[in-house]
Chains A and B, each alone.
Chain A
Amino acid sequence: MVDLNTISPKNGRNYYIALGLEGSANKLGIGIVKHPIKSQLSSGDNSHQCDAQILSNIRDTYITPPGEGFLPRDTARHHRNWCVRLIKKALKEAGFNDPSNDIDVICFTKGPGMGAPLHSVAIIARTCSLLWDIPLVGVNHCIGHIEMGREITKAENPVVLYVSGGNTQVIAYSENRYRIFGETLDVAIGNCLDRFARTLKIPNHPSPGYNIEQLALKCQNKDKLIELPYTVKGMDLSMSGILAYIDSLAKDLFRGNKQNKLLFDKKTGKQKVTIEDLCYSLQENLFAMLIEITERAMAHVNSSTVLIVGGVGCNVRLQEMMAVMCHDRANGKVFATDDRFCIDNGAMIAQAGLLQFRMGDIVKDLKETIVTQKFRTDEVFVSWREK
């Protein structure tokens, strides 16, 4: 039986405070989360209703010039040089001035992600832990997304679609693990969109995916779709072929390659397709594939609700398509969060870490805080949920 109330909060308080540090990719996030002690959490599967309060949730994104991706070294430098300022700001926003008394646990991202940025944030976590004498908890980034999504939306046991720059997974819970039912066989959806944005040389601010979404909205030719490969393989999917193909179309468009009959009229040589059309078709095609594999997983586990998490989960068109699918299927429901929680942030690490902490799972030796670039969602034993 799951009892989330066995560990007492610091100083006899009736609530827990967790500081969450996230920096697995190009976002540095610092969040502070408060859990009141609730008698309902002494038993049953209630970890999605902790009444969590977000006392602060600050993020700073490392942005590169148009056409460029982010390198580990410069991203790590960004995190190193901003972390102290951000932590101070977060503490101030939460109204804390004595961290060693105010905070019960420090949670940091142990993986998966890019080595150098992960490592720099782990150092910050260790330093704060030693400085203030506060226990540490290492958190799986994907679990952070899932638990934050469940807490915010109150979705009890949804099929989870996790879509971000490095991940594309369809996940469902069973027997103390978040199990992966389907995933990409090559590149992640966010990476696919980011790389296409680089080919188009559109700005990386606020995010490449957001800018593609805005361009797609401006498409004037919505009934005519550019045919792209549709590569669903069971509950898995593949996107590298689609990316290579649409990249080549964009390059032909820029070069003005009149030989390409798909883009230019055979007789007049007039341009038939715009960048906006390409963005629209790419989104429609990729998202249709995502919805299809999600629906397959739902059919397989007999579920009628979906939770979308991860950076690409902010995309309004994706949420819309998912809602239509869920409605047609057993009048189901889709749960999604906005950019505060969808995009990598510190609060989600604090939320998942605090659940771990309340189950007594803390770092006992600093050796355990070594970060790992490869850390699969189903490796984590989910002690805070019922079998």
Chain B
Amino acid sequence: MSQEIIDIVQNYLTPNIPITLVSQGAEAVVFTTHVHPYLPQDSNKTGETKYIIKYRPHKKYRHPVIDQQLTKKRTLGESRLLAKLYQIDGLKVPKLIACDQYNGCIWLEFLGSQLPDNNGFSNLKHFLWWNKADPYNNVVKESLLKVGQQIGILHWNDYVHGDLTSSNIVMVQDKLGVNVWNPHLIDFGLGGVSNMVEDKGVDLYVLERAIISTHSAFSDQYVEWIMQGFSQVYEQHGATGEKKLKELLKRFHEVRMRGRKRTMIG
């Protein structure tokens, strides 16, 4: 991790807001802090509540024009999207606290926890690896059904994620000590509004491939459970839902075949 980026963020936030680095994703660096951007300091006296600061650093590799456009578009886009998604019944996404699109910064509610026995942060990827010894246990099954339901609700409301991977799904423990996990979708930088089956099909295809490449040995069953949960959401909406589901699954298979059967020359 480049110290330069941390310095830029710390400089922008001032020393009054201490930050801890959590992860460096592809396009954003994620920090935690105990300071709320606008509520009075003493509202978090115990220091138990954490917040996420998601910063999109300037990417030196790309042309400044592309860089500025993307940073602004994605920061603003993600904030607007999260604000809308948060209001959808049943959909679980982090709560938006603040957004500064010119500096590429978003403040969010902190979600997730550390998995037991040093198994890392509770995103879906680590969660599945943590369960590797008993990969098809009931908790895994229930969790993946819920993952599918979350994506189903998202798509049913005509939103797409744009970058569904097992790293972009955070598992939140229902209650401390209880082995029940509620998946939350995060990282909507490439997300958007879309009623096109193509976009939704690609969304599912991207997730399927991410599961295959990261959880190869168990991917068939995992994808099946996710798709089961996904279908349930559409099936709840009667004949219209069934029709839309059929259309969507058909396109999903088409996108998949397109990928596998493409002639590859040279």
Question: Within the complex, are A and B direct neighbours (CB within 8 Å)?
Answer: yes
Give residues in A with beta carbon < 8 Å to B: 24-27, 112-114, 141-142, 164-167, 172, 174-175, 177, 179-181, 183, 185, 188, 190-191, 223-225, 227, 230, 232-236, 284-285, 288, 291-292, 295-296, 298-301, 311, 321-322, 324-325, 327-331, 344, 373-376
Is B264 within 8 A of A375, CB to CB?
Answer: yes
Which of the residues B69, B167, B265 comes within 8 Å of A113, measured between beta carbons? B265
The minimal Cβ–Cβ distance linking B16 to chain A, given in whole angstroms, is 27
On chain A, the residues within 8 Å of B70 by CB distance are: 230
> Size band of the B side of the interface?
35 or more
Residues of B within 8 A of A166 (CB): 263-266
Contacting pair A25 B260 (CB below 8 A): no
What are 12 of the A-B contact pairs (CB < 8 Å)?
A113-B266, A167-B264, A172-B213, A230-B69, A233-B162, A233-B163, A234-B164, A235-B163, A299-B25, A299-B167, A321-B62, A328-B4
Contact of B266 among A24, A227, A233 (CB under 8 A): A24
Q: Are the C-beta atoms of A300 and B216 separated by less than 8 Å?
A: no
Give residues 152-172 of B contacting A (CB, 8 Å): 162-165, 167
Residues of B within 8 A of A174 (CB): 213-214, 216
Closest B-chain residue to A301, C-beta based?
B214
Complex: chain B residue closest to A162, CB-CB: B264
Give the shortest distance, in Å, between A103 (CB) and chain B (any CB): 26
Contacts known (A324-B61, A329-B2); A185 close to B258, Cβ less than 8 A: yes
Given A175-B217, A230-B66, A299-B24, A167 and B266 touching (CB < 8 A)?
yes
Which chain B positions have C-beta within 8 A of A164? 266
- Selected from B26, B206, B212, the residue in CB contact (under 8 A) with A233 is B206
Q: How far is the CA of A246 from the CA of B49 in the complex (A)?
A: 50
Q: Which chain B residues lie closer than 8 Å to A191 at the CB level?
A: 265
Instruction: Let me know if A232 and B190 touch, CB within 8 A.
Output: yes
Most buried by B among A142, A188, A299: A299
CB contact between B264 and one of A185, A298, A374 (< 8 Å): that residue:
A374
Q: Find chain A residues with CB under 8 A from B162 CB.
A: 233-234
Q: How far is the CA of A185 from the CA of B210 in the complex (A)?
A: 15
Separation of A177 and B213 alpha carbons in the complex (Å): 9
B206 lies within 8 A of A292 (CB): no
* Chain B stretch 188-222: residues in CB contact (< 8 A) with chain A: 190, 202-203, 206, 209-210, 212-214, 216-217
Is A285 a contact partner of B66 (Cβ separation < 8 A)? yes
B-side interface residues toward A, CB under 8 Å? 1-2, 4-5, 24-27, 57, 59-66, 69-70, 162-165, 167, 190, 202-203, 206, 209-210, 212-214, 216-217, 255, 258-266
Expressed in whole angstroms, the minimum distance between the Cβ of A312 and any Cβ of chain B is: 10
A172-B213, A234-B163, A330-B24 known; A190-B266 Cβ under 8 A: yes
- Not counting A185-B258, A230-B70, a sample of 10 additional A-B residue pairs whose C-beta atoms are within 8 angstroms of each other reads A24-B265, A113-B266, A172-B213, A177-B216, A179-B213, A223-B65, A225-B66, A233-B202, A235-B210, A376-B260
Contact A233 B190 (CB under 8 A): yes
Contact in complex: B5, A328 (CB < 8 Å): yes
What CA separation (Å) do A26 and B265 show in the bound complex?
10
Residues of B within 8 A of A114 (CB): 265
A residues less than 8 Å from B60 (CB atoms): 324, 328
Contact across chains for A300 and B167 when beta carbons are under 8 A apart: yes
Taken together as a complex, chains A and B put the C-alpha atoms of A364 and B62 apart, in Å, by 50
Known: A234-B190, A296-B163. A329 touches B213 (CB 8 A): no
Which residue in chain B gives the minimum CB-CB distance to A26?
B266
User: In whole angstroms, how far apart are the Cα atoms of A327 and B61 in the complex?
Assistant: 10
The chain A residue sitting closest to B65, CB to CB, is A225
Beta-carbon nearest neighbor of A145 in chain B = B266
Q: Which residues of A contact B63 (CB under 8 A)?
A: 225, 284, 288
Q: How far is the CA of A295 from the CA of B163 in the complex (A)?
A: 13
The answer to whether A234 and B206 have CB atoms under 8 Å apart is: yes
Expressed in whole angstroms, the minimum distance between the Cβ of A116 and any Cβ of chain B is 12
Give bound CA distance, A330 to B3, whole Å. Answer: 9
Contacts of B69 in A (CB 8 A): 227, 230
Closest to A164 in B: B266
Q: Which 3 A-B pairs have the closest CB atoms?
A: A166-B265, A25-B266, A112-B264
Which residues of the other chain, B, contact A233 by a CB distance below 8 angstroms? 162-163, 190, 202, 206
**Cβ distance B77 to chain A, nearest Cβ, rounded Å:** 13
Bound-state Cα–Cα, A331 to B1, Å: 7
Contact indicator B62/A298 (Cβ below 8 Å)? no
Q: How far is the CA of A24 from the CA of B264 in the complex (A)?
A: 10
Contacts of A188 in B (CB 8 A): 264-265
The reply to whether B26 and A288 form a contact with Cβ atoms under 8 Å apart is no
CB closest residue in chain A, given B63: A284
In the bound assembly, the distance between CA atoms of A112 and B264 in angstroms comes to 5
> Which of A190, A284, A295 has a CB less than 8 Å from the CB of B27?
A295
Distance A113 CA – B217 CA, assembled complex (angstroms): 29
B233 to chain A, nearest CB (A): 21
A236-B202, A296-B163, A299-B25 known; A311 and B266 CB under 8 Å?
Answer: yes
Contact among A25, A291, A299 with B62 in the assembled complex (CB-CB below 8 Å): A291
Q: By the criterion CB–CB under 8 Å, are A180 and B213 in contact? A: yes
Residue contact B263 to A373, C-beta cutoff 8 Å:
yes
Instruction: List the A side residues contacting B259 at CB < 8 Å.
Output: 183, 185
Residues of chain A contacted by B26 (CB below 8 angstroms): 292, 295-296, 298-300
Find out whether the CB atom of B264 lies under 8 angstroms from the CB atom of A179.
Answer: no
A300 touches B210 (CB 8 A): yes
- Minimum CB–CB distance from A262 to chain B (whole Å) comes to 14
CB contact under 8 A between A185 and B202, given known A142-B264, A234-B165: yes
Residues of A within 8 A of B206 (CB): 233-236
Tell me how far the C-beta of A319 lies from the nearest C-beta in chain B, rounded to whole angstroms: 11
Provide the bound-state CA to CA distance between A142 and B263, in Å: 13
Say yes or no: A288 contacts B266, CB within 8 Å: no
* Smallest beta-carbon distance B55→chain A, Å: 13
**A223 contact set on B, CB distance < 8 A:** 64-65
